[in-house]
Every structure is written in C-alpha cells, then in structure tokens.
Amino acid sequence: MKINLLEKRIAILFIGLLLTVTWSCSRGGDSAQPGFGGGGGFTRATTVEVRDVQRAEISDQIRSFGSVRAQDNVRVTPQINMNIREIRADLGDTVRTGQVLAILQNDPYVEAVRRDELQVEQARSAMQRDSINLGRQQTLFERDLLSQAELDNARTTYLGSRASLQNALATLSQSRQNLGYTRIISPVDGVVTRRLASPGDVVGPGNTVFEISNLVGYEIRVNLPLRDWSQAEVGQTVHIRLSGMDDFNSRGTITRISPELDPVTGLGEVVISVNERGSGMFPGVLVETRINVETKPNAIVIPRSAMVENVQTVIEPESNVIRLSRTYAAFVTQGDTVAVRRNLELGIQQGDRIEILSGLEPNEKLIITGQSSLEDGSRIRISGAPRFDRGGQPLGISGQETTSSSSTDTTSDTTLTEQPRRGDGSGMGQGQGRSGTSARN
C-alpha cells in the first residue's frame, strides 16, 4: 500500500515538472526584442535613416581652378646691352605711357651720334660740290665744249655723293635710336607689379626689368579637359570664388577659347574676364570657377551617399575585351518595416548630388544610411521610430509570428499574476485557481 502511494506521488511530481517546463518554453519568446535573433522566430531588422525623395534644382557644371591676372600685363625689356645708371620707378608706382622708368649708361651712344652727325655734314658738303660740278659740265656739254663721257663721269660722281649722304643719314638715325634706347620707358598705363633689376646691373634684350599691369580689368586663364573644353562657349557666365572660401562672390564671362588642345597635357585654354569683382580678389590669387552648362529647376535629386553601386566584370566574347559594368540602385521603404530595391538611371551629377531620371518618385521614403547591408525585401527599423506598433506588437516579425506572439502575450498577461502554492503536492491546480480569483478581484 505504501509502495502504491509512493509511486503515485512520484508520477504526480513528474507530471508537474513536465508541465512547468512546457509552460516556461511557451513564454520564451517574450524576452526577445525586435531586431535581434532568439526565441519566438523573430527576424533580424536593420536600423536605417530615411528622408523624403524631393525635387530640386541641379546644374551640369564645369569646375576648375586658375590664378587671377591683369588683362594687360606687359614685360618691359631694354633694346640694347648696357648697365643701368638710374631707376626712376619702383614696385607699386603708377606710371603713364612714355614715362621714363630707368636710364642706362649712354656715353658710347652719345659719342656715336656726334660722329655720325659729322659724317652727315661731310657727305652733304661732298654732294653739294658734286652737284655744282655736274651743272657746269652740263653747260659745257650743251655748248659742245665737253664730251659725253666727261658728262657721264660728272653725273656718276654726283650720284655717289648723294648715296653717301643718304647712308650717313641712316647711320645717324640708328645712332640716335640707340641713344633713345638708353631710356627705358613705359609702353602702357598701369602699375609696376615687379622690378627685376637695380642700378649697376647689366641688362639687354630678353632681360625683363619691369612688369606693368593694367589693373582696370582682371582675367582668369583655366585649362580644361576635352569634355569640358568642348562644352565651353564664349559669353557663358562664370561664378568665381576664392580658393577655400564658401561663397561665389565674383562673376565673369568667357571671352576667348583656344581653338586647339595642348599636345602635351591634352587641355584647352579658356580665358575668363572678370565682370563683378568681390572682396579679396587681386592678381595672383588662386580662385575656383564654376560654369553652369545646363540647369534643371525641377529634377528628382538624391545624395550620392544614398546610392548602392554594383560593379561587374564583363568579357566581350567577340573582342575578348574586359570592361566594368556599373549599375546603381537605392532602397525605399514599404510601410515602416520593409526595404524595396529600386534600380536607378542617373542624370546630371553636381558635387554630392545626383539627378535621378527613373527609379524614384517624389515623396517616397529614401533610405540614406544603412542601405549597404540591405537586400530587396529586407526587414528594417527606422531610426527614431517606436519599436512597437500602436497595437502593442513588436515590429519586424511576420504575420503568423505576430499571431503567435499575440496569443503568448495574452497568456503572459494572466500568468504574470500567478503565485503557485503547494497544497496537494503539485501546487498546479490550486495555484491557477487562486490566480484566477485574484485577477477577477
């Protein structure tokens, strides 16, 4: 009798233990959180940030860098080899056309002018003498007192004297010109921006002594690659800003374009005349230029960082050429829990902004962070959004799992108040009865 009672108690304890383990397993999913693995069959969700797809203005732009320079920048060089005796203009001086900038040693040239002037006087006297002699010979020839040969000799002598005079005059003119070259003068109105010689220096042709700039107008010379150079046109507006600054506070216009590319660099020169000069613009300053080739005022624009690029290697069977095939995509949200992949067709690219020709529609929710780890249909959780929906259900689980979780939560609402008590050895029936009564109360 005692053995049967012991067996019954062991059986009751075993059944109680089995029911306790089953009850604990049924509540195991309640401890799992959305976005994590674990019990209850939850799907891992990726936290992302989103923004609305919007329309905005975007421009196809040509950007380049160049240095500001004066439109008229003249290098003044001497015409003769001689040392400098006096400097009459210095850095920053405003000069006028014809103003003397420096004087060279001129003693040898003064002597040369005097010598050539004497030679001119001698040649003129000889020509006058031979001219008078020719007149006399002509009179004697008319009276048949002189032969034709003697008249021809007199005429030849006169012509030689006249040629000598002309040669002496030319030599004198050259000497006077050389003497004038000892005075270096300004060929233009402007400001001396560089002085490259000092008194006593020996200078000559090819040696720049002064640089003079006309500061009335500025220009910028930029060198563009073939694609940008071919799109540049005379008359296009150019926005200009100092390198490293934020605002484009100056404007210019393309005035000249080189008709050919440099054979060494492959770049084409474009000259920009500055029309509106902002603060801080001086000759020699490095600036950034921006030329708007095409502007679309109402395009779908997204940040470059929101795109996902797919690069594949493609081998063309006919030519055996290996090339890279690039495709671009982005992810938008479906509801608040699913990411949908969209293939994109790109348009104008302006800095970190890109025009989308097809693939997106305005006001869709574009995923801008976290998209690199997504696939089409991936579960997501929007950053800043609540982890549970209005019904109190966790986000990121399937419908069947939601139903199962709901039933589990309903059970948990009741079992949270359970306080099992041992009465008959198992404690199961009494505990549930007391729990139910306590809940009603």
345 in a structural domain: no
Q: What is the pLDDT of residue 238?
A: 92
| Pair (93, 195) in one structural domain | yes
The domain that holds 222 is classified in CATH as: 2.40.30.170
Work out the average pLDDT over 70-93.
Answer: 90
pLDDT of residue 326: 86
Q: Locate 386 and state its tokens.
A: 């609540």
- Tell me the percentage of the chain whose pLDDT exceeds 70: 78
Residue 277 lies in a domain: yes
Residues 84 and 204 reside in one and the same domain? yes
Is residue 3 in some structural domain? no
Do 220 and 267 share a domain, yes or no?
yes
Query: Of the candidates 297, 323, 349, which is a domain's last residue?
Result: 297
What's the CATH code of the domain at 91? 2.40.50.100
Same-domain pairing of 100 and 129: no
331 within a domain of the structure (yes/no)? no
Q: Give the domain-ending residue among 164, 180, 196.
A: 180
Coil, helix or strand at residue 116: helix
Q: What's the CA gap between 244 and 117, in Å, rounded? A: 64
Average pLDDT on 343-355 reads 87
Band of residue 405 on the pLDDT scale cut at 50, 70, 90: very low
Token pair, residue 104, equals: 């060279």
- pLDDT value, residue 41: 47
| DSSP conformation class of 56 | E
pLDDT > 50? residue 258: yes
Say if residue 201 is in the same domain as residue 164: no
CA atoms within 13 A on the CB side of 22: 7
Do 101 and 186 fall within a single domain?
A: yes
**CA-CA distances (angstroms) from residue 163 to 125, 186, 422?**
13, 37, 149
pLDDT at 441: 32
Same domain for 117 and 88: no
Specify if 360 maps to a domain: no
Instruction: Indicate whether 39 belongs to any domain.
Output: no
Residue 197 and residue 100 share a domain: yes
Q: Which residue has the tokens 């000889």?
A: 126
Which has the minimum average pLDDT: 22-36, 68-82, 195-209, 255-269?
Answer: 22-36
75 DSSP 8-state letter:
E
Q: Is residue 273, in this structure, part of any structural domain at all?
A: yes
Whether residue 134 is found in the same domain as residue 186: no
pLDDT band at 38 (very low <50, low <70, confident <90, very high): very low
DSSP 287-352: EEEEEEEEEEEEEEEEEGGG-EEEEEEEEETTTTEEEEEEEEEEEEEETTTEEEEEEEEEEEEETT
Q: Lowest-confidence range among 9-13, 118-122, 333-337, 426-430?
A: 426-430
Q: Which residues contact 127 (CB under 8 A, 6 or more apart)?
A: 158, 161, 162, 164, 165
Report the pLDDT averaged over residues 182-193: 90
Which CATH number fits the domain that encloses residue 147?
Answer: 1.10.287
| Domain shared by 146 and 200, yes or no | no
Evaluate if residue 351 carries a pLDDT over 50.
yes
Strands 308-316 and 250-257, how do they pair? unpaired
pLDDT value for 280: 82
Whether residue 91 sits in one domain with residue 162: no
Could you give the number of structural domains in the chain?
Answer: 3
Q: Do 157 and 144 belong to one domain?
A: yes
Domain membership of residue 12 (yes or no) is no
User: Where does a domain end: 180, 196, 222?
Assistant: 180
Give the range of the structural domain holding residue 90, as residue numbers without chain letter: 78-105+182-208
Token readout for 123 is: 């040649």
Average pLDDT, the chain: 80
